[in-house]
Amino acid sequence: MIRLWFFRRPLSPAVLAAMTAFTPVSSLVAQTTTATGTSTTTTDTAITPVTDGEITRRSSAPDAMTVTARLDRARIQLQPSTGATVHAFSRKALETIPGGDNAGMNSVLLQAPGVAQDSYGQIHVRGDHNEVQFRLDGVQLPEGMNVFGQTLMTRFADNLSLSTGALPVQYGFLQAAVVDINTKNGSTNKGGNVSIYGGARDYFFPSAQYGGQHGKWDYFFTADYVHDRVGIENTTPSFNAPHDLSNQYHFLGHVRYTVDENTRISLIAGVSNAEYQLPNIGGQTFPCAGADSPCVSVPGAPSASNLNERQKQITDFGILSLQKEIGAFSLQTSVFSRYSSLGYSPDPNLGDLAYMGISQHAERSVMSTGTQSDVTWRVRPDHTVRFGFQVFAERNITKADSLVHVNGAPDGQFASYHTGNGRTGDIYGLYAQDEWRPLHNVTVNYGLRFDGVGEYTNEHQLSPRINVVWRAWKGAALHAGYSRYFTPPPFEVVGGSDLRQFANTSAATDVSRSDTVKAERDHYFDAGIEQVILPGWRVSFDAYYKLAHNLIDEGQFGAPIILSGFNYRRGQVNGYEFSTSYDHGPLSLYGNFAWSRAIGKDITSAQFNFDADDLKYISNHWIHLDHDQRWTASAGGSYTFFYRSGHPTRVSATMVYGSGLRQDQNLSNGDTIPNGSAIPQYATFNMSVVQSFRDLFHSRFLRTTQLRLDVTNLFDHPYMLRSGTGVGVGAPQYGLRRTILTGISQSF
């Protein structure tokens, strides 16, 4: 039931109708929910509480609000996660996490169970490397080149959900998890907000947002600028990272036109531009020693702590969608395009050549254009049929200008090489499924999906999937499912022609073989239970097992922070998750705990990136994947003082625990086991205090004023994310030390 105590005067019937079109999420923290079909709406939708001033403005167009709410609900039901495990973040939950809208999307997702953090802002869900797909209002975004950039801003989300498990057939290509972001819009987010946020390490973060509605049009825009010295994780345990300045610009906009009560057109567009300095490993030297060393004698080369390497990332995207209701049919069809590029500039004084044997200006870009359509047909009360398709056409371009030392040439004499190639390909998928309710408390969702890829590899697969949800007793939901997955390889793969050009130079590799990266094929099993213990208190348990053929992993090879894909011939991933949350009045608490194991055997593609001894060992032994973390946990809570007043004070805290990603194990006999040991465990605590004042300036124009104080790594615990060793692991990476940030925001 929706709580109405925060309103001073009664709501109009039109406003009540619009609000009850949603299933409320009153919790300030993420909730774990088993999606149970069309009989209930999943908890990934929530409304934002409105103030008295907002009610006055919104009630002037109640019909538009009712139509908007109904179309929003219809769009969400196009893609239910029946049988999957859904971790929902309401608008309140997003604001409660330390940093609030200023926090990166990865920081938000770390509060869900089974999510492990990595360097460059990466996350790993349920033991997979990076197979997380992002959707905006149900439309999947093609993959781009971004590694440590945050293209999607948290403040653009009205709410979001993270779906894991045995996913229904509408979710393809990347299936470890689905992050579905319901964007803000002008009909429910009228007015504007400006804020300034900053503090330690030159952190400066101004932002602005504005939304409104005019007739059949509504719009929402947000933009920000980030300047700091924590763009990439510190390569040392020191308080400040050497050479780590970053500047980032982001813009996101949403415009919608409601043609009539059954038709809506929307446009979402975004721009992200980020420039980074790559941190140096202070105090470390790379002496040239032995014939196998890539080091080259370069007069005047800087020390390793004074290298000046930089990287630039750009992402632009747009999504144009048509939503239509025709009797028993609901439709959303979209066209989209995304351009993503990455450019790496080496040290201008040939420091890269001196320490790594190659100085390389590298550029990569991917242009993806495609379409997606989803249709729901409500055949009967107990049968809902859904079908649709996705098609991506992609163009990948790779360029590199390299400076190397030819073996046997005099010191100081170098050779330059230009390499480049372009490839055009496509990815496609179509699906059909039936959501059937044979009993009033049992929902069965079954279907088929056909996927194909025509890029560096040409493959396809027909994939059956089935989920069963049984609401066995009051407050309980049991689910079990099986999904056959097909995951195309990443498009940005280095071609074999590069290897031959570098033979007999300082950039030559130990292994000359470079087989094509294949698509991953999985059998995925998932089962779990959710139980409401008391009003406001729920618990859930989930178990999963994945059996993979040609398991895809990614690694960083060389100085440019560009991830390249490769396959393990066989892979296994399994684990367990426990989650609980409690919400009552001003108090909210949650906790997540997960165990996972991810192993692989026999690297069968892109072999030139690896040491010959490692390849030989892995061909005959199962090893842990570099991102395998055995234990992962997160927890948090918040309490709001004076929460019924116009000046509430909210205190919140979060915790993230990891038992450590993998690193090489050095044996006493001098041998090395790839990924044979774990990095030391860690736990970090963050806190936030937010003071809000409504109508502080007694102005009809200025509304809520908010002051905030956020502390990251409250106890200043130094901890390591990467040691610099392991399969596909680059430089060492350390977590952020204690950082104190403050901010002020003003709504109008």
Per-residue model confidence as pLDDT tens digits over 677-689:
999 999 999 999 9
Q: What is the pLDDT of residue 294?
A: 57
Helix (H) or strand (E) segment spanning residue 658: strand 649-658
CA triplet 453, 455, 459: central angle to 5 degrees?
35
Burial 531-559 (b: 16+ CB within 10 A, else e): beeeebebbbebbbebebebbbbbbbbbb
Q: What is the pLDDT of residue 34?
A: 65
Using CA atoms of 450, 454, 457, 459 in order, give the dihedral in degrees to the nearest 10.
Answer: 20
- Residue type present at position 623: I
What count of other Cβ atoms lies within 10 Å of the Cβ of residue 649?
15
Angstrom distance (rounded) from CA 631 to CA 594: 6
Q: What is the pLDDT of residue 15?
A: 33
Sheet strands (E) in 328-457: 329-345, 359-380, 383-404, 415-439, 442-454
Q: What is the pLDDT of residue 146?
A: 64
Per-residue model confidence as pLDDT tens digits over 28-60:
445 666 665 543 333 333 323 333 333 333 334
Helix residue ranges per DSSP H, 189-295: none
- CA nearest to 65, candidates 16, 109, 99: 16
Angstrom distance (rounded) from CA 370 to CA 674: 40
How long a stretch of residues is the chain? 748
Determine if the pTM surpasses 0.85: yes
In order of their start, the domains of the chain are 13-747 (2.40.170.20)
Per-residue model confidence as pLDDT tens digits over 242-264:
889 999 999 999 999 999 999 99
Residue with tokens 């947000």: 222
Q: Are 430 and 450 in contact (CB under 8 A)?
A: yes
Tokens of 324: 């239509």
Q: Are 340 and 146 in contact (CB under 8 A)?
A: yes
- The sheet carrying 139-140 orders its strands as 31-34, 85-89, 157-164, 177-183, 132-136, 139-140
Angstrom distance (rounded) from CA 56 to CA 11: 10
Helix (H) or strand (E) segment spanning residue 70: helix 62-77
Q: Are 486 and 451 in contact (CB under 8 A)?
A: yes
Angstrom distance (rounded) from CA 632 to CA 33: 19
Contacts of 215 (CB under 8 A, 6+ apart): none
Angstrom distance (rounded) from CA 564 to CA 558: 10
Strands 329-345 and 310-326: antiparallel
Tokens of 521: 């094929």
Low-confidence ranges of the chain (pLDDT < 50): 1-29, 38-62, 287, 289-292, 495-496
Query: Is 216 buried (19+), middle (13-18) or exposed (0-12) by CB count in 10 A?
Result: middle
Tokens of 547: 């059996």
Q: Are 362 and 352 in contact (CB under 8 A)?
A: no
- CA nearest to 49, candidates 104, 6, 100, 101: 6
- For residue 423, the Cα-to-chain-centroid distance in whole angstroms is 26
Q: What is the pLDDT of residue 64?
A: 67
Q: What is the pLDDT of residue 37?
A: 55
Distances (CA, A) of 12 to 15, 17, 19, 189, 702: 5, 9, 11, 18, 24
Q: What is the pLDDT of residue 9?
A: 34
